[in-house]
A = this chain, B = another copy of it.
Amino acid sequence: MIIILGAGGHAKVCAEALRSQRRGIVFEFRTTDFPIDERDEFVIGIGNLPVRRQIFDEYMRAGRTILSAIHLKTIIANDVELGDALQLMAGAIIQPGCKIGDNVIINTGASVDHDCTVGDHVHIAPGAVLCGEVTVGDMAFVGAGAIVPEGRKIPAYAFVPAGTIFK
């Protein structure tokens, strides 16, 4: 059994990603105040970045393993370096030469082109497009359908609003 921390929409999408890889998988959705037994595998099913980071740090310090939830129908190039506790949703694409940090969400249909570097605890929202050689700092949020042209550097903790073009 796999525990999904959280019970909202993001938790469901994580569950669907896991199910896409293994039909018949069994989940339990749990709120964060419920302690996780050491034998249980779990996924951080919460979208909020500070909360995600806190859970990640706490459990990593305790030497626990946090599962990634990677949908079967993602396209991830051969040489991409992937961090821990990732959430790569249906239709997400990662092109060659990318480096993706820990605890990152690349959401529904978002694409990350060649040679991007994505920091830790980043959320690339649905349909966002990162062109080649983009850098995204830790804890940044790139909104739904936002466009990031080639070579741009998004600072840590930045908030790129939905549907905008990052200058």
Interface residues of A (CB under 8 A from B): 9-10, 12-13, 15-16, 19, 71, 73, 75, 77-78, 89-91, 93, 95-97, 107-109, 111, 113-115, 125-127, 129, 131-133, 143-145, 147, 149-150, 162-165
B78, B91, B144: the one contacting A149 at CB < 8 Å is B144
B16 A95 Cβ-Cβ under 8 A: yes
- Of the residues B78, B97, B131, B143, contact of A162 by C-beta under 8 Å: B131
Checking B16, B131, B163 against A77 with a beta-carbon cut-off of 8 angstroms, the contacting residue is: B16
Q: Is B109 in contact with A12, judged by CB distance below 8 angstroms?
A: no
Query: Roughly how many angstroms separate A147 CA and B109 CA in the complex, as a whole number?
Result: 13
* Residues on the B chain within 8 Å of A107, using CB: 113
Contacts of A108 in B (CB 8 A): 93, 95, 111, 113, 129
Identical chains in the assembly? 3
Partner of A147, one of B132, B144, B149: B144
Closest B residue to A109 using CB positions: B111
Chain B residues with CB below 8 A from A89, complex form: 95
Residue of B nearest to A96 (CB): B12
Cross-chain contact A145 with B129 (CB below 8 angstroms): yes
Q: How far is A147 from B110 in the complex, measured between Cα atoms in Å?
A: 13
Bound CA span A114–B89, Å:
11
Q: What is the bound-complex CA distance between A15 and B144, given in angstroms?
A: 29
User: B13 near A113 (CB under 8 angstroms)?
Assistant: yes
